Amino acid sequence: MKKHLLTLPLAGLLGLVATPILAGGIINKQNSSSDYFRTLNRQAATDYADIAVHNPAGIMKMKTGKYLKLDIQYLAKDYSNSIPGVGQLDQDISSIVPGFFAIHKEDKWAGYLTASLVGGGGKVDFQNGNARSITIINTLLGVPFSVAGTFPQRVEAESIYSGYTIGGAYEINSMFSVSAGLRYVSAYKKYTLSADGLPVFGNAVTELRDEADGWGGIFGVNISPNEQWNIGLRFETATKLNFELDVRQGADLLALMGYQDGREEREDIPALLGIGASYKITDNLKVDANFIYYLEKEATWETDFDGAGNSYDLGASAEYRFNREWMVSAGYLYSNLKVDIDQIISLPEEAKLDAHTVGMGGVWSPTETLDFTMGASKVFYMEKTDAQGITYEKDIWIVSCGLQWKFR
């Protein structure tokens, strides 16, 4: 039993996703562009080049030409683990995440390339430890949390899942268009834990890095029954990721707990199904609704999140265009993550919590070839407390900007 309690918090090292989850399932991420942050609902969009990620079949509703778009996201993250007998342990390291989108669109067909975040994407640094380090020391030494918290300790973690997609779209007729893409994902996760002055173990440091890559498909359908309505459908297949562990420090200690250098463990990016609808109330006012369902129970996960899912996002947004140059928008999103409270200890660095998100922003188009986008969002997470009395909280603000250039 003691060994199981020790390996439980360590197992999360191998399933670490140290990034703010703004929208998406347990692994998947959707926050890839500044236009996303100003609306939070892009599944039925047909305007800017980031739809190559969100609604690729909708590209056929854009004007003929070439598009290049670069977006930058700044995420201010405040995460905390409140532990009985220890107090609140937190981190406030921020993240910067880029996104790139390119489209070549002709009358009946289009090609596109994207590079964006599909999972992971940030770093955390708990300089006084967190639920993971406290639980490990508690179990190693057989001492209560209050004593475990007296040892100097630190937890650093980082994870990036980079996705690179090439695809095409084709217009069947004025109502229907379709798309297909192939995405390559390169993922790594690294984790460092240090604790000083431990009895028997002394100054202990463990450092791990997990790497994997894989391929997946993305398919889309866009339906425009009339000038007012547009419907976007997207299906992403699962991406098989077989992570190989590289133990860089503390091999002897980790080996005692069953973690061997070179071990392989499967943790796929799950398939998803997205559907969105937009409706033009007037020529200047448009509203959107989105639903994205993550097929997590169908994915292969050899981690502590096995059995979790299926999560979903549900949201709505509105856009108002004053004239050709100026447009404003606002949106709301609810993210429901199907994770049992007792599974959260396996990933205390970035606890999986349900959330309400609000966003707003706008687009300035000084010429017909340039578009500047600004978006800002605030995520309101619902804290959770597990069976050990540990409370997990998160607070995130996001500011994002983007530049799109259109040319022939």
What pLDDT does residue 246 have? 92
CA 362/CA 375 separation, integer angstroms: 7
Which tops the pLDDT comparison, 122 or 213?
A: 213
| Residues paired with 100 in a beta bridge | 70, 115
What is the pTM (predicted TM-score) of this model? 0.92
| Average confidence (pLDDT) over 203-229 | 95
Encoded tokens for 156: 């650093």
Cα 73 to Cα 181: distance, rounded to the nearest angstrom: 24
Residues with Cβ within 8 Å of 173's Cβ and at least 6 positions away in sequence, in order, are none
Tens of pLDDT, residues 127-150? 999 999 999 899 889 999 999 999
348, 338, 333: which is closest to 378 by C-alpha?
333
pLDDT-based confidence at 330, cuts 50/70/90?
A: very high
Bridge partners of residue 249, in order along the sequence: 207
Give the residues across from 217 on adjacent strands: 182
Reported as a pLDDT band with limits 50, 70 and 90, residue 257 is low
23 pLDDT band, cuts 50/70/90, is low
CA–CA distance, 173 with 401 (Å, rounded to integer): 34
Q: What is the pLDDT of residue 342?
A: 75
Residue-wise pLDDT tens digits, 180-205: 999 999 999 998 999 999 998 899 99
pLDDT (tens digit per residue) in 364-403: 999 999 999 999 999 999 999 998 999 999 999 999 999 9
Most confident of 98-102, 155-159, 302-306, 339-343: 98-102
* pLDDT confidence bin for 45, thresholds 50/70/90: very high
Q: Please state which of the four CATH numbers 1.20.1560.10, 2.40.160.60, 2.60.40.1080, 1.10.10.10 is assigned to the domain occupying 2-407.
A: 2.40.160.60
Mean of the per-residue pLDDT values of the chain: 91
Per-residue pLDDT at 377: 97
The domain ranges of the chain are 2-407
What is the amino acid identity at position 51?
I
What's the mean pLDDT in 222-249? 96
Q: Among 20, 35, 21, which residue's Cα sits nearest to residue 67?
A: 35
Contacts of 137 (CB under 8 A, 6+ apart): 143, 148, 151, 153, 195, 198
Rounded CA gap, 244 and 265, in Å?
Answer: 7
Helix count (H) and strand count (E) of the chain? 6, 18
Kindly write down the DSSP assignment for every residue of 25-76, as one continuous string.
Answer: SSS-----SHHHHHHS--TT--SSTTHHHH-GGGGGGSPSEEEEEEEEEEEE
- Closest by CA position to 75, among listed 376, 407, 406: 376
Residue 1: pLDDT over 70: no
Confidence of residue 341 (pLDDT cuts 50, 70, 90): confident
